[in-house]
Amino acid sequence: MKLYQAEWCPFSHRVRAKLTELGIDYELVNVPASSKKRGDLERVAGTTAIPVLVDGQKVISDSDEALSYLEKQYEAEPDELELHHRELSPTVYGTLPFGVEEATERLREALAEADIEVLQELDLSSALGRERPYKVLLAADVEFLRLAAEANPGAATLALLKIAVYAEDGSTRVDAVEPEKGAGQIRDPQLNDRGLELRKRFIKTIKGLERADTQGYESQKS
């Protein structure tokens, strides 16, 4: 089995993680950063996009399709598949012990302490046809945003952290696309490194709120 990929590509990372998880031996082929220099890959797969997974005569050029193929081919257990889908999802997620309104306010404060600035707060409940609040915080790490703008001014918005806060099954969920994956299309190593560091900060923030002592607070039911 062979994987054509790049270390900075978040979609390649997902396939590498699955191959490692399943204990599959494979050959790693790092492709040039410029798609114009990927002639060998194009001859194999008919595309210059990555990742590309080659297993015998089977050629897969979509990361989601590659993950599904590997799971089915190596017969992962249903419970494990559900867990793996969540783990390999391009999102950071958590469950907070507060109602949506309180969780949103606490999250804003915690983000500020982590040097992540909330630029705007949206309520998408009406647009989504939901009776319960569905908040979205648009946030940014200033350095991450600057690096994105320098690499590609027109794609700087990819560096925005979009955080959803909503009620589900009696709990308050917090989900956000991992920063380095959101900005992965810009394909800049320095930007990717900053995104990884930002992800660690964001995860630490969410974990801190998950462990928060709720004594003395009345949890809202939103």
Cα pseudo-dihedral 51, 187, 178, 207, rounded to 10: 120
Report the percentage of the chain scoring pLDDT > 70. Answer: 88
Q: What is the pLDDT of residue 76?
A: 56
Q: What is the pLDDT of residue 137?
A: 96
| Measured distance CA(198)–CA(146) in Å, rounded | 13
Q: What is the pLDDT of residue 102?
A: 94
Both tokens of residue 107? 């999250």
Scan for tokens 């949103």, then name that residue. Answer: 104
Backbone angles phi, psi at 44, to 5 degrees: -80, -45
- Domains of the chain in start order, with CATH, are 2-87 (3.40.30.10), 90-210 (3.30.310.70)
Q: What is the pLDDT of residue 78?
A: 58
Task: Tell which residue, 177, 145, 142, has the closest CA to residue 163.
Answer: 177
Residues 208, 211, 217, 219: is their CA dihedral positive or negative?
positive
Q: What is the pLDDT of residue 111?
A: 97
Q: What is the pLDDT of residue 75?
A: 66
What would the pLDDT profile of 104-132 be if each residue is shown by its tens digit?
Answer: 999 999 999 999 999 999 999 999 998 88
Model pTM greater than 0.85? no
Residues 161, 178, 80, 14: is their CA dihedral positive or negative?
positive
What would the pLDDT profile of 156-166 be if each residue is shown by its tens digit?
Answer: 898 999 999 99
Q: What is the pLDDT of residue 5?
A: 93
Q: What is the pLDDT of residue 100?
A: 94
For residue 209, CA distances in Å to 25, 106, 216 come to 39, 8, 15
Both tokens of residue 134? 């569905």
Q: What is the pLDDT of residue 217?
A: 43
Low-confidence spans in the chain with pLDDT less than 50: 88, 213-222
